[in-house]
Structure 1
Amino acid sequence: MPAKSQDQQQAAGAALAAKRGETKVSSLKGASKSMYDSMSEKELEELASTPRKGKPEHVGDKGRDRD
């Protein structure tokens, strides 16, 4: 399953690093914490390895300003 945005890919990468013991789980927040809890290492690897080219920075908050 490919990542839909750069933000999703980055969150998956952070969760994957925590799953592998490369970073502390306590450093995770938001989407990366949720991904860590609910996804396998293989699923996280698939999301994190998605090529970034052509991906929007963020998907989902239509109609809201993002500062």
Structure 2
Amino acid sequence: MPAKSKAQQKAAGAALSAKRGETPKSKLKGASKSMVDSMSEKELHDLAATKRKGKPEHASKS
């Protein structure tokens, strides 16, 4: 499943880094904090690997 926004892609990358042990979980903020526990490494990788070109900074709430 591709990321819907740049912010979602960045959060997935931060969560993936923490899941792999490269970044301490205590450094995570916001959505990435819940993503690290609720998603698998493969799911996080798929979100983080999404191309940013053409994506909005934040997804619309509607």
TM-score normalised by length of structure 1 = 0.88
**In the alignment, what sits opposite 2:39?**
39
Q: Which runs of 5+ in 1 are unaligned?
A: 63-67
Q: Which runs of 5+ in 2 are unaligned?
A: none
Name the amino acid aligned to 2:43.
E
The alignment covers a number of residue pairs equal to 62
Q: What's the RMSD between the two structures over aligned residues?
A: 1.1
**In the alignment, what sits opposite 2:56?**
56
Alpha-carbon distance in structure 1 between the residues aligned to 2:18 and 2:44: 11
Name the amino acid aligned to 1:41.
E
What is the percentage of aligned positions where both structures have the same residue? 74
Alpha-carbon distance in structure 2 between the residues aligned to 1:26 and 1:3: 24
Segments of 4+ in structure 1 off by > 3 A? none
Q: Considering only CA atoms, is the larger Rg found in Structure 1 or Structure 2? A: 1
**In the alignment, what sits opposite 1:65?**
none
